Structure 1
Amino acid sequence: MLSSRTLRHVVLALAATLAVGCAPTLKVNVLQPARVNLGSARRLTVVQTEGRKGARDLVIDELLRQARGQGYFQTSDRSNEGIVVKVAGRSVQIVNAGNGPAQSPDEVGVRIDVNDWDAEARTEIIKGKDSKGNPTEQEKKFYEARTVVSVTAFTSTGRAVLAEQEYEMVARGADKSLALDNAARALVLRLLGDITPRYVTKYIRMDDDDKAQKPIIEVAEQGNVPRAITEMEGYVQGNPRNAAALYNLAVLLDASGKYQEALDLYTQAISLSSKDFYVDMKGECARRLADQQALAQ
């Protein structure tokens, strides 16, 4: 049985949760850096490949197809232009620039080395039961592919954001070709997952304690954030010590991607109010600013 003190804490926690659930919020989609941050680069160019030609061609085709489908990177293949790069630690040296244009600041060069690329016939026994509940065994034949590639990705300044990073994938297929296709598809998907920023949905809580701000909040909830910012700025001018107004203006700027301006207003609001969610939303805004700065490098 819960003690009265524990029960009180549970009730307070539940009340806080319900309060958040009823509070107005703004939904925003924010771009977050991938595990391997390529900064502001939006172009991927395969400049060199090594290993079995058929495997190299399959990986390049799959990379171009998937990147095109995701829509974040522009991708191109220049692996036939004679470009040669040498990896040394976390830097890359261009040994031969080939016969095309030089790498641009918004472009990431990619070298792909195929280390292992094969598939073997396999057999497994699948156990089950028939309609009468009797045990059954069925032999299933398939091919299992193992693919291993090393990937180096580097900036125009020669910095290797990936330096001979090994990617390994095992996949099955009804025949050898299909097994290798499946492995290549999964391998490229993992690579792109490591380097492609993604949009994440966030909800920023507003403060509706001041009823006079309700019409402005409703404008923001209907999607007209620019108009809400203008109206809230006017409200703040007439009520410069109103914590909720300062906080809500911070939220509106936060939702517009103006993170530094929002942080300043969050700080002002916190100095006037002890509401915990003010601090929480400021912390999330600070993380969004850090992500924005990382993606602008």
Structure 2
Amino acid sequence: MLSSRSLRHVVMAFAATLAVGCAPSLKVNVLQPARVNLGSAKRLTVVQTEGRKGARDFMIDELTRQARGEGYFQVADRSDEGIVVKVAGRGVQILNTGSGPAQGQDEIGIRIDVNDWDAEKKTETIKGTDSKGNATEREEKFYEAKTVVSVTAFNAAGKALLAEEEYEMVGRGEDKDSAIGNAARALVGRILFDITPKYVTKAIRMDGDDKAQKPIIEVAEKGNVPRAITEMESYVQGNPQNSAALYNLAVLLDASGKYQEALDLYTKAISLSAKDYYVDMKAECAKRLADQQALAQ
């Protein structure tokens, strides 16, 4: 049984959780770089492939299909133009420029080397029980495939953002082709996961302590953030030392993607009232600014 002191601590912690849960906030979708940041480029151009032709063709087709489905990258195939690239450290040397145009600033060159692309027949023992509870065994035959490719991705300046990075995936199927296809599709999905930025929903907490700001906050929560910014700016002009107003204006600008302006206001608000969540929201805004700058490279 909890002591009266322990019970009081539980109640206080629960009350604090409720207070945070009831605090006004704005939800925003922010774009975050993937593990491998390709900057602002949205065009992937396969310039060279090596290995079994059928495997190379499958990789290009599947990369094109999955990228189209995700809606972020456009994929072009220039692998038949004679372009030859060689990885040199963290850079790429173009040994043969091929017959087409030079690589654009908004374009990422891709080289795909197929290292392994095969499947073998296997047998698996499946154990179970029958309707009477007796133990049963049966053999199930299937094919297990392994696909391994090395991927090089480079920008127009010759910087290798991926330098012969190896991807491996195992898949299974009823026949050899389906097993290889399953493994290869998963492999392409992993490559795209590593390079495609993702939208993430974030909640930015507002300060609801000043009741006079409630109508402005409600305007923002209903989706009219531009109007809320105008009204909060007017409020701040009349109350320049009001930490909640400065902070809430920072939140509104943060939600609008004006991260540097928001950071300046977060700093001013913290200098007047260093509430813990002021500091936390400022740190998250700084991360959003860093992500924005990374994606603009």
TM-score per shorter chain, which class?
over 0.9
In 1, the alpha carbon distance for the partners of 2:20 and 2:29 equals 20
In the other structure, the counterpart of 1:198 is: 198
Stretches of structure 1 lacking an aligned partner (at least 5 in a row):
none
Q: Is 1:179 paired with 2:160? A: no
Equivalent-residue separation in structure 1 for 2:246 and 2:277 (angstroms): 14
Code of the residue aligned with 2:207 in structure 1: it is D
What TM-score comes out, normalization by structure 2 length? 0.98
Superposed displacement of residue 13, structure 1: 2.7
> Could you tell me which residue of structure 2 aligns to residue 232 of structure 1?
232
Superposition deviation, residue 276 in structure 1: 1.1
1:50 aligns with 50
Secondary structure (helix, strand or coil) at the match of 2:64 reads: helix
Show CA shifts across 1:165-216 (max 9, x none).
0000000011111001101100000000000000000000111111111111
Output the CA distance in 1 between the equivalents of 2:295 and 2:7.
46
Q: Which amino acid aligns with 2:105?
A: P
CA distance 1:274–1:3, change in 2 (3 Å): farther
Q: 1:149: how far off?
A: 0.3
Match of residue 108 from structure 2: 108
1:91 aligns with 2:85: no
**How far apart, in 1, do the equivalents of 2:7 and 2:288 lie?**
37
Q: Deviations over 1:20-66 (max 9, x none)?
A: 10011101000001001111111100000000000000111100000
CA distance in 1, matches of 2:84, 2:230: 55
SS at match of 2:36: coil
Task: Give 2:223's aligned residue.
Answer: 223
The one-letter code of the counterpart of 1:264 is D
Match of 2:18 in 1: 18
Residue 274 of structure 1 deviates from its aligned partner by: 2.8
Partner of 1:277: 277
1:256 equivalent in structure 2:
256
Deviation for aligned residue 1:12: 3.2
Q: Distance in 2 between matches of 1:287 and 1:221?
A: 23
Any unmatched runs of 5+ in structure 2?
A: none
1:164 aligns with 2:164: yes
User: 1:27 aligns to what?
Assistant: 27
Task: State the secondary structure of the residue aligned to 1:58.
Answer: helix
- Aligned to 1:226, the other structure's residue is in SS state helix
Offset of 1:8 from its aligned partner? 4.6
Q: How far off its partner does 1:102 sit?
A: 0.5
| Deviation digits for residues 77-129 of structure 1 (CA, Å, limit 9, x no counterpart) | 11011100011111100011111110011110000000011011111010000
Per-residue CA deviation, residues 209-234 of structure 1 (Å, 9 max, x unaligned), is 11111111111000010110011101
Give the match's secondary structure for 2:69.
Answer: helix
Q: Measure the CA separation in 2 of the matches of 1:135 and 1:228.
A: 69
The corresponding residue for 1:286 is: 286
Q: Distance in 2 between matches of 1:184 and 1:57?
A: 12
Paired position in structure 2 for 1:62: 62
Q: CA deviation at 1:138?
A: 1.2
Partners of 2:5 and 2:102 in 1: CA distance: 69
User: Given the superposition, is the C-alpha separation of residues 263 and 3 from structure 1 closer, same or farther in structure 2, using an over 3 Å criterion?
Assistant: farther
Q: Distance in 1 between matches of 2:5 and 2:41?
A: 55
Q: Write the distance in 2 (CA, Å) between the matches of 1:28 and 1:194.
A: 23
TM-fit CA distance, 1:7: 4.7
Instruction: Give the TM-score of the pair, scaled to structure 1.
Output: 0.98
How many angstroms apart in 2 are the aligned matches of 1:6 and 1:285?
Answer: 36
Q: 1:236 to 1:80 in 2, by over 3 A?
A: same
Percent identity over the alignment is 81
* 2:39 aligned residue: 39
Q: CA offset at residue 11 of structure 1?
A: 3.4
Q: Which residue of 2 aligns with 1:209?
A: 209
**Which residue identity is paired with 1:280?**
D
Q: For residue 76 of structure 1, what is the aligned residue in structure 2?
A: 76
Give 1:14 deviation, angstroms: 2.2
